[in-house]
Amino acid sequence: MAQFEVETDLDKFVRSHLSTYIDSIPFQISHIKKEMDKHPDEFTQENERITAIENTALNFTTPSNSAEVLDLINELYRVYSFLGHCIRILIEVEASNIFEPYLRQS
């Protein structure tokens, strides 16, 4: 009986954390898209891909069994890895814009 309670508690814990990630995706995607829109010539491929990812991610639901948990974790990893890629590129563009006047003087 104690083992079942531990598994049930762990299951609730995992699902609540996954729900947090699911709930935050729309805001994060929206924010990153707004930032990328400031540089329309820089993010052609990323804009196409983030739209496709957004359509998929907005349909994520809290899993109801172990197989769905694993599938969702893999999908969340894929989504957040791509969002991290977009953030790195945004940082590069912003840094280049900040230092551009100094680079032109050289």
Which structural domain, as residue segments, surrounds residue 89? Answer: 2-105
pTM over 0.85: no
Task: Tell me what pLDDT residue 28 has.
Answer: 96
Cβ(57)–Cβ(79) under 8 Å? yes
For the stretch 32-87, pLDDT in tens is 999 999 988 888 999 999 999 999 999 999 998 888 999 999 999 999 999 999 99
pLDDT of residue 106: 58
Burial track 29-67 (b if 16+ CB lie within 10 A, e otherwise): beebbeebeeeeeebeebeeebeebbeebeebeebeeee
Measured torsion, CA atoms of residues 30, 88, 18, 28, in degrees rounded to the nearest 10: -10
Higher per-residue pLDDT: 27 or 3: 27
Which is more confident, 3 or 90?
90
pLDDT number for residue 18 = 93
Q: Give the model's pLDDT for residue 92.
A: 93
**Of 104 and 16, the one with more pLDDT:** 16
**Count of domains in the chain?**
1
Instruction: Inform me whether the pLDDT recorded for 4 exceeds 60.
Output: no
